[in-house]
């Protein structure tokens, strides 16, 4: 018997449909991947199965757990099932644990929720569960509060609570999305352990095709509240039929292979779906029936014109532009401490005209702090920042104001970065007016800017809330371009966007750079995105640069063991590759900058360090490695901060 069977599930919020007839079955021990972009209805589906949607949602259809119908059950009936037979892991471990209760109490509560145990036995079981999910020193950890835990550890706690009663089905809703890549790799391992320990069926809800490729036996692709493609992982990844799936795979940035290809447009708002196939407005293969009738899901895909995937366009002409000699930004020995926390601890790099440097690294590595120090255009605590040949520490007020023209920023979350009460025209005009541009010129420039970022001039009169995420980010970029800067600083410019839209923004940034010659300094955590965005990349760890060099060199011949681990941790959207490869699994969390150890900061987690002889290890502990040329076999301008990196490049 199937562990979970969902039939014709429909969810409406008032008049707005969120899920429009979803059906699937999961067998015991099977992992079913539920893939889709934001608004596709995948999370709502998960919550509907749990019966945890808010009261204003109308749910119809059927949800059968081991053959027993759950839909329409009372709170009392469902409470008996939830947590015992049907468990859920939520996305954001930051907010999913109650901040005021101890970790151990929260797990013990899950154990006791279904009766039959004493308080002390539940506590002991909580300790066992913490052990199972790999939380070190369980007895101490159980007495800690959630805020004393890192994101990865909290997510382990979530998994511990989910497996407390050996459930038949575990629903995991974006379980690793909020985590750093190296931690994501660990948590996915824990999830695999949990599945083996319980034999549960897992419904894996995610937008990350790489995660699904590594874990799922079968995959459902959702779009606009419906399943548009289903099949085994191999079928969906290697022989997709629905143009949306094909487009999604092509839009996913890869560590190797050609550039990602965007899907034009954005998903339709769920309140106003087109009469035919909801993907029709974005579909290259749309024909007459697509506009009038919505295709139903036959064997594999819900599509009138099933297609075959095209090979990815080859990478652009391999010749990189020669580096300009014109240095736009030079940072030397930059340090920044917040109290005892040394967030940035001696960073050197330069950005030249027309090139893109990306700072990458996990949370807490100091990349955003570096950015903010540069943007402040003020004397840093230590070190030197030179923008366009001028040392910012000695800048008079007037000159600093002038310099701001040449240094602009694009923020991560376009929804938060645009004042919702201002029209697009005013948002774009604001920097111009602030710098005293005459009014007729402002109007002309606003139109020009909209054109530059590929939007119609009639966007000028609209408000940000009427725009999609991708369009908003275009406005953010246009605003940064308004004063014709020489350097734009971009803080995670595409990480808040859906995959199908990401590639479009990446294209736009490349085109603008080519045409305007502007330099970019990008902060990002996604190495696959950076590979297609940047010319040069600096990998940061605990406030320092571990490795820096051209993208080809750093990705082709990574010299630092940390760079290697980061690259290896990224899940690849290719089931065979993803399952076949061995992964460098870094132990532990990225430590907080307050506890930077003496010597090499990375050595506690370093896979290379463990293979060294005792004498060599001593050097790692005693002497902090400085950036030096990576040497033979590596790129010409590749530098690495590791004493023993030579052994890695062959």
* Interacting residues toward another protein by CB under 8 A: 50, 52, 54, 75-76, 79-84, 87-88, 90, 92, 95-101, 109-110, 113-114, 145, 147-148, 158, 161-162, 164
Instruction: Output the CA angle 10-247-523, nearest 5 degrees.
Output: 100
Q: How far is the CB of 125 from another protein (least distance, A)?
A: 13
Q: How far is the CB of 276 from another protein (least distance, A)?
A: 35
One DSSP character per residue, 218-266 reads: EEEEEETTEEEEEEEHHHHHHS--SHHHHHHHHHS--SSSSPP-PPSS-
Q: How far is the CB of 152 from another protein (least distance, A)?
A: 17
Comparison of 167 and 231: residue with beta carbon closer to another protein: 167
Q: Among candidates 300, 289, 172, which has minimal Cα distance to 244? A: 300
Q: How far is the CB of 329 from another protein (least distance, A)?
A: 36
Comparison of 149 and 279: residue with beta carbon closer to another protein: 149
Q: How far is the CB of 51 from another protein (least distance, A)?
A: 9
Q: How far is the CB of 100 from another protein (least distance, A)?
A: 6
Q: How far is the CB of 126 from another protein (least distance, A)?
A: 12
Torsion angle of the four alpha carbons 462, 466, 467, 472, in this order, in degrees rounded to the nearest 10: 70
Distance CA 201, CA 264 (A): 36
Q: How far is the CB of 38 from another protein (least distance, A)?
A: 17
Q: Among candidates 496, 581, 577, 572, which has minimal Cα distance to 212? A: 572
Q: How far is the CB of 162 from another protein (least distance, A)?
A: 8
Q: How far is the CB of 65 from another protein (least distance, A)?
A: 13
- Count of CB atoms situated within 10 Å of the CB of 1: 9
Comparison of 114 and 390: residue with beta carbon closer to another protein: 114
Comparison of 159 and 478: residue with beta carbon closer to another protein: 159
Residue in the structure block whose two tokens are 């929720």:
113
* Polymer length in residues for the chain: 650
Comparison of 34 and 97: residue with beta carbon closer to another protein: 97
**Is the separation of the CB atoms in 566 and 557 below 8 Å?**
no
Q: How far is the CB of 524 from another protein (least distance, A)?
A: 26
Query: Can you list the positions of beta strands (E) in 525-621?
Result: 536-541, 544-550
Comparison of 94 and 307: residue with beta carbon closer to another protein: 94
Comparison of 83 and 380: residue with beta carbon closer to another protein: 83
Q: Which tokens sit at 500?
A: 């199908």
Q: How far is the CB of 22 from another protein (least distance, A)?
A: 20
Q: How far is the CB of 33 from another protein (least distance, A)?
A: 20
**H, E, C per residue of 44-108:** HHHHHHHCCCCCCEEEEEEEEECCEECCCCCHHHHHHHECCCEEEECCCHHHHCCCCCCHHHHHH
Comparison of 110 and 188: residue with beta carbon closer to another protein: 110
Comparison of 85 and 362: residue with beta carbon closer to another protein: 85
Q: How do strand 536-541 and strand 544-550 relate by DSSP bridges?
A: antiparallel
Number of helices (H) and strands (E), helices first, in the chain?
24, 22
- Cα dist. 543→90, 364, 496, 588 in Å? 31, 8, 24, 18
Tell me how far the alpha carbon of residue 97 is from its chain's centroid: 21
Comparison of 82 and 536: residue with beta carbon closer to another protein: 82
Comparison of 74 and 322: residue with beta carbon closer to another protein: 74
Instruction: Output the CA angle 325-328-332, nearest 5 degrees.
Output: 100
Q: How far is the CB of 76 from another protein (least distance, A)?
A: 7
**Is the separation of the CB atoms in 41 and 22 below 8 Å?**
yes
- Count of CB atoms situated within 10 Å of the CB of 422: 14
Q: Which tokens sit at 639?
A: 């530098």
Distance CA 111, CA 127 (A): 11
**Is the separation of the CB atoms in 221 and 35 below 8 Å?**
yes
Q: Which residues pair with 121 in a beta bridge?
A: none
Distance CA 491, CA 212 (A): 27
Comparison of 341 and 353: residue with beta carbon closer to another protein: 341
Q: Which residues pair with 219 in a beta bridge?
A: 33, 231
Q: Which residues pair with 442 in a beta bridge?
A: none
Comparison of 167 and 625: residue with beta carbon closer to another protein: 167
Comparison of 50 and 387: residue with beta carbon closer to another protein: 50
């Amino acid at each position: 018997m199937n562990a979970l069977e969902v039939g014709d599930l429909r969810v409406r919020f008032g008049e707005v449909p969120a899920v429009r007839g979803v059906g699937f079955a999961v067998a015991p021990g099977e992992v079913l991947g539920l893939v889709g972009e934001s608004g596709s209805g995948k999370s709502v589906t998960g919550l509907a199965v749990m019966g945890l949607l808010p009261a204003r949602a109308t749910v119809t259809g059927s949800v059968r757990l081991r053959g027993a119908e759950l839909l329409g059950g009372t709170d009392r009936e469902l409470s008996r099932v939830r947590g015992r037979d049907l468990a859920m892991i939520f996305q954001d471990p930051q907010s999913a644990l109650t901040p005021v209760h101890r970790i151990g109490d929260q797990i013990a509560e899950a154990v006791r929720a279904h009766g039959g145990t004493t308080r002390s036995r539940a506590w002991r079981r909580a300790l066992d569960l913490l052990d199972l999910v790999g939380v070190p020193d369980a007895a101490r950890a159980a007495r800690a509060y959630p805020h004393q835990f890192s994101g990865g550890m909290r997510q382990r706690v979530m998994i511990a609570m989910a497996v407390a009663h050996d459930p038949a089905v575990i629903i995991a809703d974006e379980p690793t999305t909020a985590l750093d890549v190296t931690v994501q790799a660990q948590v996915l391992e824990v999830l695999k352990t949990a599945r083996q320990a319980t034999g549960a069926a897992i419904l894996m809800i995610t937008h990350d095709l790489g995660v699904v490729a590594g874990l799922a036996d079968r995959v459902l692709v959702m779009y606009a509240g419906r399943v548009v493609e289903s099949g085994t992982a191999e079928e969906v990844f290697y022989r997709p039929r629905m143009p949306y799936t094909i487009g999604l795979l092509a839009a996913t940035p890869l560590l190797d292979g050609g550039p990602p290809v965007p899907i034009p447009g954005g998903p339709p708002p769920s309140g106003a779906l087109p009469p035919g196939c909801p993907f029709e407005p974005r579909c290259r293969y749309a024909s007459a029936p697509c506009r009038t009738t919505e295709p139903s899901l036959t064997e594999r895909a819900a599509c009138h014109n099933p297609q075959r995937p095209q090979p990815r366009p080859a990478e652009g002409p391999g010749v990189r532009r020669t580096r300009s000699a014109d240095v736009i930004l030079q940072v030397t020995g930059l340090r920044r401490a917040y109290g005892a926390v040394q967030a940035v601890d001696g960073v050197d790099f330069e950005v030249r005209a027309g090139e893109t440097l990306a700072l990458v690294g996990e949370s807490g590595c100091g990349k955003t702090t570096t950015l903010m120090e540069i943007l402040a255009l003020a004397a840093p605590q230590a070190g030197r920042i030179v923008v366009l040949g001028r040392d910012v520490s000695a800048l008079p007020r007037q000159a600093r104001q002038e310099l701001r023209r040449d240094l602009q920023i694009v923020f991560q979350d376009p929804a938060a970065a645009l004042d919702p009460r201002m029209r697009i025209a005013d948002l774009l005009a604001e920097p111009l007016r602030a710098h005293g541009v005459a009014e007729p010129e402002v109007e002309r420039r606003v139109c020009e800017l909209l054109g530059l970022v590929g939007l119609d001039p009639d966007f000028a009169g609209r408000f940000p809330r009427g725009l999609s995420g991708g369009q908003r980010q275009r406005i953010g970029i246009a605003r940064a371009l308004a004063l014709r800067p020489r350097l734009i600083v971009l803080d995670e410019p595409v990480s808040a966007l859906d995959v199908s839209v990401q590639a479009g923004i990446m294209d736009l940034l490349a085109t603008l750079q080519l045409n305007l010659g502007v330099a970019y300094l990008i902060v990002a955590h996604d190495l696959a995105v950076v590979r297609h965005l940047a010319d040069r990349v600096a990998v940061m760890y605990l406030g320092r640069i571990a490795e820096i060099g051209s993208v080809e060199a750093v990705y082709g011949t990574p010299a630092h063991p940390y760079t290697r681990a980061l690259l290896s941790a990224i899940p690849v959207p290719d089931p065979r590759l993803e399952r076949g490869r061995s992964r460098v699994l870094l132990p532990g969390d990225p430590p907080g900058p307050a506890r930077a150890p003496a010597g090499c900061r990375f050595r506690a987690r370093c896979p290379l360090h463990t293979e060294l002889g005792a004498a060599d290890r001593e050097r790692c502990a005693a002497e902090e490695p400085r950036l030096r040329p990576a040497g033979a076999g590596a790129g010409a301008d590749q530098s690495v901060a590791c004493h023993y990196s030579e052994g890695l490049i062959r």
